[in-house]
Structure 1
């Protein structure tokens, strides 16, 4: 039994796990072989790539994209490291230019990320919405990274974002889902009258249980990077994340039992064997 396909902007994906390509290091240098092995173990079909040029090559001059099977993976260009709408728009255009010649269906996609400051790396809501509106006018398919703010999430969807991606916690923090109630509200609101609208939890995932929790809340998928790339064994952790996202989706579909204050016996309390009579 497997999760149903994830549908975004007319495309379908068997995997509901999106994985980033940054931070795979060995001896302090980028290790693209390790990245490739981890992506394979994760079972993902969408990978994010930060389009700033200095992150696309290792010290030997090899391109990160040379290590990705472009027939297997949909590349999702990412405006990581941008702190204004204008910077994010330029990065998105660069990503489109980079992928258009590679016949990859992610060429017109962008994971929009506009950060507010370097310490928290939290999204700037005003600049994010402004960039989203501009990129949509230019024909991009926008998957918008946002705070766990239901109002901003609604504004991004109304603007035309193909998916809203609320954070679980700050980027790279490994704190998991800090505000599950806001995630629930976002899901309830964005899916009201539009049950198929995809909401992807993004950022802060530290381990497999965080992925499962996000899916049990009702998310359609999870995007992560550091939780795999910076793990002690990235390939093994990637496999764990693959199992976790499937387990979480199945649990959400099955429906959990209600939480109760007191115990409820699993065996019937009637027709029990009578205790032996006292002698």
Structure 2
């Protein structure tokens, strides 16, 4: 039984009565963003509901207004749509896709993806900055997908980005937090929501990223390739919430060497 009273416990370093994720002035309760690119339309609604997400990304190739197979018909009301510029290889292509996305969905949010590399699918940070600058001036809430680099992130912030979305590992790889130290730098230095995108493969990795202080997690492949997709969506939602709670509470200290008994109660034997 603990001998520490509630008054003796240190206050949370990150107290907040309402701990909403705020992007471009809009508040969200969930910090788990779901990609939709790999889900069948039949599964879409169940996955969204199990994940508890409030933001869903979508590629415009899956939008067929008035036609069959329109993904918008399978997304529950109240979900914020985050169209992406998947397929863009230059800033100009991303800008055109973003404008079309707003026209088709009515959403002011856009996830910028400028990916000229066909093998590793790594983003072009320089072209991404150019796209952010143009679209932010046009009133978009721009969330750029980027390779975690502090100089580029600062440029995106100055260009008007609403959040920064660094990759954890190559898209679709499920390799986990391979860029954790660079993401940690962005968390410390960039005063915008840092949303980890691409490469997160397990709920435990999502939790770890949230414990680092990132604002949110986006996942697609890790959920879509799971044995039970709906249950994995729920697991990711819970892991993101747990990681956020841990960050708000303040993680316990870590000893780099030696050990320390957690219950030093044997002193009376020598008294």
Unpaired runs of 5+ in structure 1? 25-30, 101-106, 192-196
User: How far apart in 1 are the matches of 2:179 and 2:243?
Assistant: 18
Give the Å deviation of 1:274. 4.8
User: How far apart in 2 are the matches of 1:18 and 1:142?
Assistant: 15
Please state whether the residue corresponding to 2:193 is helix, strand or coil. Answer: coil
Normalised to the residue count of structure 1, the TM-score between the two structures is: 0.86
User: How far apart in 2 are the matches of 1:80 and 1:216?
Assistant: 29
User: How far apart in 2 are the matches of 1:3 and 1:243?
Assistant: 18
Give the Å deviation of 1:114. 0.6
Please state whether the residue corresponding to 1:273 is helix, strand or coil. Answer: helix
Matched pairs, number: 253
Determine whether 1:80 maps to 2:86. Answer: yes
Query: What residue number does 1:243 align with?
Result: 238
Query: What residue number does 1:194 align with?
Result: none
Give the Å deviation of 1:272. 3.2
Give the Å deviation of 1:2. 9.9
Query: What residue number does 2:184 align with?
Result: 184
Please state whether the residue corresponding to 2:269 is helix, strand or coil. Answer: coil
Query: What residue number does 1:103 align with?
Result: none
Normalised to the residue count of structure 2, the TM-score between the two structures is: 0.89
Please state whether the residue corresponding to 2:161 is helix, strand or coil. Answer: coil
Determine whether 1:11 maps to 2:26. Answer: yes
> Matches of residues 40-119 of structure 1 in structure 2 within 5 Å?
40-52=49-61, 55-56=62-63, 61-69=68-76, 71-100=77-106, 107-119=107-119
User: How far apart in 2 are the matches of 1:172 and 1:34?
Assistant: 19
Query: What residue number does 2:264 align with?
Result: 268
Deviations 1:32-90 (A, max 9, x none): 121221111000000001113xx335xx9221110112x32000111112111111111
Please state whether the residue corresponding to 2:217 is helix, strand or coil. Answer: strand
8 Å contact from structure 1 (residues 2, 246) kept in 2? no
Give the Å deviation of 1:179. 2.0
- Give the superposed CA RMSD: 1.9
